[in-house]
Amino acid sequence: MTVFSSITEFEYKGTFEGIRKDDIVSQMIKALQKHFPSICDKNYELSLFLPIFQRYILENSSISHELDSDKIRLLNISEFTEFEDIRDNDILDHALLSRLATLKLNGKTDSVIGKESPLFEVKNGKCSLDIILQQTQNLNTSFNCDVPLIFMTSPETEPQISNFLKESYTRSKVEWKTIVHSSFPAIDKDTLLPAVFQKNVCEENLWYPCGSGNLIDTLYFSGELDNLIFQGKEVLFVSNMDNLGAIVDLNILSYMITNEIDYLVEVVERTANDSNTGVLATYESKLRLVDYKCLSRESARKCRTVNTNNIWINLPKLKNLIESDGLNLPICSSETKTIIHNSQLMAILQLQTHLGDCIGFFSNSQVIKVPRNRFLPLATCEDLFLLKSNLYDLDTSGSLNLYPLRFELLPSIKLGDEFANYETFMIGIPDIPNILELDHLTVMGNVFFGRKIILRGIVVIICDEDDVITIPDGSILENVIVRNKSQLENIDKF
């Protein structure tokens, strides 16, 4: 018996670009039944995928659906809770930590930095996973508690993350475990059938992580949600694995429990380095997460905050919502291209849900604006450049502290495609320059940095395609535009 046995065809009589919607859904069901008659390990994923596909077809009038920017309304400052207003200067109740669990999200292989990004050295010889374990161990040691740590991995990242944790932290004082993110079959946009039917398509392009909203299904169907509630865990603090500023804050935990908040999302002040991150806004009068690129030009200009994806969830309330079928998250579509036979490109449609969209379904949800140090992303090589620099110091608790004289103001960093992944980044910039007095840096082309370099003010280095620029060891670049290596002959050194 397969997971499809209870699924019947839709009788919806609408059209979908000239085709009856029930025909599209029926075609998908039959195709999956034929292709996956006995693949038990994919039955679970496909049982989650089909309702998402059905809803998407029924709810939209075209194959590719984008949000209407005119219907997006940014939140007013009065709709945020300010962290400073909830900070308790009195002694907080450390016993509340016994009601907390933490979870780190790690989705598809990071195509920007590289698939082993959680294992890349970030600071003082430590990778992201080292720092996260250090933060949790410090919490448990400082307050004599036992806050568990869950890593939600993908099929791609699960082996490397699990192996690293087993090798390095088997005897750790932190109780950790991994759960695996589900994957959906990629859809051929032209046929609305699974891309698996195409020959000579790279296997890794046939399945994709179905978005952070899948955390809800994974927790529930794996039994982990019931397990946490049985252990007395009332609140789950969820954050991205690549956000090294997402540390448990007892002020926020206390505020959430005391005020019986069901769902709490952290946002921070937007900087020049946050151009394409998510935004919490209302769409058709309902609070949800939208991409920055979906905003109108006017809204983008006015947008002052960014979603951190630091989310605090009341677990019993979450279970009630799931079991009452009250969490039909919005479905987001995106298009990618993949290479098939004869170097042809196939348009791929991906359907995902996002955890941040849960905020519109809880009766008592809030958005809290927190200090910038709670959002230290490591999603791009520009982020890596900042965190590896002398702007940040990694202390014994695992906290990354910004150089105090910067007053929380970060320089804007723009690196060209030559620095797009970890390997090429480390070749071009093996030693991060001193940037304590840097305001802006742009580097484009074949540029190679020497060691012990100082950058100040605004520095722009643009190398022609057929040229190479090498910044000599000990150079001091201050308020300068460099376009060829001859400009470096008389440059200051120390």
Give the pLDDT confidence of 322-353 residue by residue, as tens digits: 999 889 898 888 888 776 666 677 788 889 99
Rounded to an integer, the average pLDDT of 425-435 is: 96
Rounded to an integer, the average pLDDT of 459-475 is: 94
Is the pLDDT assigned to residue 20 strictly greater than 80?
no
How far CA 40 is from CA of 5, 45, 179, 379, in Å, comes to: 14, 10, 18, 34
Report the distance separating Cα 402 and Cα 369, nearest Å.
Answer: 19
pLDDT band at 8 (very low <50, low <70, confident <90, very high): very low
φ, ψ of residue 338 to 5 degrees: the values are -130, 150
CA neighbours closer than 13 Å in the CB half-sphere of residue 144:
2
Torsion of Cα atoms, 248 then 254 then 260 then 263, to 10° = -20
334-341 long-range contacts (CB < 8 A, ≥24 apart) are: 335/64, 335/189, 338/186, 338/195, 338/201, 338/202, 338/205, 339/201, 339/202, 340/198, 340/199, 340/200, 340/201, 341/198, 341/199, 341/200
Parallel, antiparallel, or unpaired: how do β-strands 469-471 and 447-449 relate? Answer: parallel
Look at residue 236 in the predicted model and tell me its pLDDT: 98
Beta carbons of 238 and 214 less than 8 angstroms apart: no
Is the pLDDT assigned to residue 457 strictly greater than 60?
yes
pLDDT band at 432 (very low <50, low <70, confident <90, very high): very high
Look at residue 291 in the predicted model and tell me its pLDDT: 84
* Range in 17-21, 101-105, 278-282 with the lowest mean pLDDT: 17-21
Beta carbons of 158 and 180 less than 8 angstroms apart: yes
Look at residue 37 in the predicted model and tell me its pLDDT: 56
Is the pLDDT assigned to residue 11 strictly greater than 50?
no
Mean pLDDT over the full length of the chain: 86
DSSP 8-state secondary structure symbol assigned to residue 377: B
Torsion of Cα atoms, 28 then 32 then 34 then 39, to 10° = 180
Report the distance separating Cα 112 and Cα 117, nearest Å.
Answer: 9
Is the pLDDT assigned to residue 203 strictly greater than 70?
no
Beta carbons of 167 and 159 less than 8 angstroms apart: no
- Which parts of 206-249 are beta strand (E)? 207-209, 235-240
Give the pLDDT confidence of 79-96 residue by residue, as tens digits: 899 999 999 867 789 999
Is the pLDDT assigned to residue 193 strictly greater than 90?
no
φ, ψ of residue 181 to 5 degrees: the values are -65, 145
Look at residue 224 in the predicted model and tell me its pLDDT: 96
Look at residue 116 in the predicted model and tell me its pLDDT: 56
Q: Each residue of 16-51: b (16+ CB within 10 Å) or e? A: beeeebbbbbeebbebbeeebeeeeebeebbbbbbe
Type of residue found at 198 = Q
How far CA 206 is from CA of 195, 337, 405, in Å, comes to: 6, 11, 49
Rounded to an integer, the average pLDDT of 220-239 is: 96
Beta carbons of 337 and 180 less than 8 angstroms apart: no
DSSP 8-state secondary structure symbol assigned to residue 404: G
* Range in 123-127, 207-211, 439-443 with the lowest mean pLDDT: 207-211
489 φψ region: left (φ > 0), alpha (ψ -120 to 50), beta (else): alpha
Look at residue 174 in the predicted model and tell me its pLDDT: 92
Closest CA to 309 of 380, 405, 377: 377
Joined together, the tokens standing for residue 455 give 């950058």
- The better pLDDT of the pair 13, 356 is held by 356
Look at residue 201 in the predicted model and tell me its pLDDT: 58
Surface-to-core class of residue 475, CB atoms within 10 Å of its CB (0-12 exposed, 13-18 middle, 19+ buried): buried
Look at residue 147 in the predicted model and tell me its pLDDT: 97
Beta carbons of 463 and 469 less than 8 angstroms apart: yes
3-state secondary structure of 165: helix
Is the pLDDT assigned to residue 487 strictly greater than 90?
no
Rounded to an integer, the average pLDDT of 58-75 is: 77
Look at residue 486 in the predicted model and tell me its pLDDT: 81
DSSP 120-135: SEEETTEEHHHHHHHH
Look at residue 10 in the predicted model and tell me its pLDDT: 36
Look at residue 290 in the predicted model and tell me its pLDDT: 87
Q: What contacts 230, CB < 8 A, 6 or more positions away? A: none
Q: What is the pTM of this model?
A: 0.90
Report the distance separating Cα 472 and Cα 28, nearest Å.
Answer: 59
Q: How far is CA 227 from the centre of its chain?
A: 25
How far CA 433 is from CA of 33, 125, 446, 474, in Å, comes to: 57, 17, 17, 9
Rounded to an integer, the average pLDDT of 211-226 is: 93
How far CA 58 is from CA of 284, 285, 373, 388, 390, in Å, comes to: 18, 21, 42, 47, 52
Surface-to-core class of residue 158, CB atoms within 10 Å of its CB (0-12 exposed, 13-18 middle, 19+ buried): middle
Look at residue 13 in the predicted model and tell me its pLDDT: 36
- The better pLDDT of the pair 290, 460 is held by 460
Type of residue found at 492 = D
Type of residue found at 240 = N
Give the pLDDT confidence of 104-147 residue by residue, as tens digits: 998 554 445 665 567 889 999 999 999 999 999 999 999 999 99
* Range in 148-162, 306-320, 336-350, 404-418 with the lowest mean pLDDT: 336-350
Rounded to an integer, the average pLDDT of 378-391 is: 94
Is the pLDDT assigned to residue 17 strictly greater than 60?
no
* Edge-to-edge strands, sheet with 263-269: 80-82, 365-369, 263-269, 305-314, 235-240, 100-105, 149-153, 176-180
Report the distance separating Cα 372 and Cα 267, nearest Å.
Answer: 9
Look at residue 344 in the predicted model and tell me its pLDDT: 73
CA neighbours closer than 13 Å in the CB half-sphere of residue 314:
22
